[in-house]
Amino acid sequence: MPRKMTDQEWEAQNSGLSPRQAAARGLCGCCGGKAVLYTAFGGVQRKVPCPEKCRNGKARR
């Protein structure tokens, strides 16, 4: 049974790409192609849709 992830591990699921790196790959600069953002605070771990409303993490043209 998997243990609960720490907040740090949870946030490590974000792409880690800078907006510029993401753009160079044709990906959304906000979520880095994930289409979701992982946020955690005080053990409350959330996955939220990309606020840019990108389509599946692709950069908008």
* Contact footprint for Zn ion (CB under 5 A): 28, 30-31, 50, 52, 54
Encoding tokens for residue 6?
């720490």
Task: State in angstroms the smallest separation of the CB of 48 from Zn ion.
Answer: 11
Task: State in angstroms the smallest separation of the CB of 47 from Zn ion.
Answer: 13
Task: State in angstroms the smallest separation of the CB of 20 from Zn ion.
Answer: 14
22 to 2, 16, 34, 48, 54: CA distances (angstroms): 31, 9, 10, 19, 13
Q: Of the two residues 6 and 48, which places its CB atom closer to Zn ion in the complex?
A: 48
Instruction: Fill in the amino acid letter for 27.
Output: L
